[in-house]
Amino acid sequence: MGLFILRRLSVMIFTALCLTFIVFFLTNLDANLEKLAKTQGNMRMSDAEVTSWLDKNGYSQPTALKYGQWLGVFPGWTRTVENEVTGRCISGPVSPEDAAMAPTFCGIIQGDWGYSTVFRDEVSTIVGKRLSLTGRLMFWVLVLMVPSALLIGVLAGMREGTLTDRSLSTVSILTTATPEYVSGVIFIAIFTSSAVGLKWFKGTATSAMDNPTFENFFLPVLTIALYGMGYIARMTRASMTEVMTAQYIRTARLKGVSFYNIVVKHALRNALIAPFTVIMLQFPWLLNGVVIVETLFNYKGFGWVLVQAAGNNDIELLLAVSVVSVVVVLLTQLISDIGYVYLNPRIRIS
């Protein structure tokens, strides 16, 4: 088991390295750097000015070298102009004496995530603050989504082919067919607009960042939860119907165990193995939902930062965002694998 986790972790780190390099490469293409220079300097820069701006800020080095500096395995660049030193690890132009004091390496290995050019702040503070906001959203999404999905799945799967099964299955197909931007728009139209007049909830979740209430926070949570819910419910249903036809359930039935006890005591434990994996693998999808919903409801969390960083080619922020999301995806994959082995004793890792 230990070896298995170790192997998975090394693959994970390698994957994360590859992915961040792809992001690094794409954000460091000439056209993107030119856009960055123009948004940071001014829009009417000439080509020569763009080149000198990029030169001055260390962007004109080879991509592999820059990537190494970002990682912290190569020394950060420095540049001396008229006795004033600027560099990756130095804030602002300083004298050569001060520059000598600064660390040589400053990448993510040293814990330096860099500086966001859009928000003009340390990347680590931005990401930390926004992640906590999104964490709250995700927490409530899971609280709403997982129990209701499992309930729908178990109810539909315990008696296959009945009216309950058919109607619940239709509901779960309907929710998987409704992406967040559709359900969100429909919810906003029905529950918040003055045209319909219900006005039960608020159409934006901006105020929920400081003070989440049921009124301003329920709709975004529901919107994200709904799309994932149908899929988990269908998987639960499939595994439940399979378990309900198993031999040991028939034995229990013939013994005269009540239907309630069959479902709760005998079937449920086995039926919930498959959905566990599915729930874990839903995290990457939830991440997409978060980006859409945070844009739709104007909730300034992690997804919103992703949109801002990508829209403005904020390289270091974007890299941090992708590192976080890739780690989330890979960790959930790892947990789902380990959990599957733990829950299902028939599987052994050789």
Q: What residue ranges bind another protein (CB under 8 A)?
A: 11, 15, 18-19, 23, 26-27, 29-32, 34-35, 173-174, 176-179, 181-182, 185-186, 188-189, 192-196, 203, 284, 287-288, 291-292, 295-296, 303, 306-307, 310-311, 313, 318, 321-322, 325-326, 329-330
CB nearer another protein, residue 149 or residue 188: 188
Query: In this structure, what token pair is assigned to residue 221?
Result: 């949570």
Report, in Å, the least distance between residue 53 CB and another protein.
Answer: 16
CB nearer another protein, residue 9 or residue 196: 196
Report, in Å, the least distance between residue 232 CB and another protein.
Answer: 15
CB nearer another protein, residue 26 or residue 73: 26
CA–CA distance, 47 with 55 (Å, rounded to integer): 12
CB nearer another protein, residue 124 or residue 176: 176
CB nearer another protein, residue 96 or residue 311: 311
CB nearer another protein, residue 112 or residue 314: 314
Report, in Å, the least distance between residue 112 CB and another protein.
Answer: 22
Report, in Å, the least distance between residue 18 CB and another protein.
Answer: 6
Query: In this structure, what token pair is assigned to residue 207?
Result: 């105020």
Instruction: Measure Cα distances from 3 to 10, 95, 341 in Å.
Output: 11, 50, 14
How many H-runs (helices) and E-runs (strands) does the chain carry? 16, 5
Report, in Å, the least distance between residue 281 CB and another protein.
Answer: 10
Handedness of CA 216, 217, 222, 228 (dihedral sign): positive
Report, in Å, the least distance between residue 7 CB and another protein.
Answer: 12
Q: How many CB atoms lie within 10 A of CB 103?
A: 13
Report, in Å, the least distance between residue 307 CB and another protein.
Answer: 7
Q: Coil, strand or helix: which one is 150?
A: helix
Query: In this structure, what token pair is assigned to residue 44?
Result: 């009417």
CB nearer another protein, residue 263 or residue 320: 320
CB nearer another protein, residue 9 or residue 174: 174
Q: Coil, strand or helix: which one is 44?
A: coil
DSSP 263-313: IIIIIHHHHTHHHHHHHHHTHHHHHHHHHHHHHHHT--SHHHHHHHHHHTT
CB 248 within 8 A of CB 266: yes
CB nearer another protein, residue 168 or residue 329: 329
Report, in Å, the least distance between residue 30 CB and another protein.
Answer: 7
Give me the half-sphere count of Cα atoms (radius 13 Å) on the Cβ side of residue 208: 28
Kindly give the residue spans of alpha helices, DSSP state H, lying in 41-105: 47-56, 63-71, 96-101
Residues 6+ apart with CB under 8 A from 44: none
Q: How many CB atoms lie within 10 A of CB 100?
A: 11
CB 123 within 8 A of CB 114: yes
Report, in Å, the least distance between residue 252 CB and another protein.
Answer: 27
Handedness of CA 306, 311, 312, 314 (dihedral sign): positive
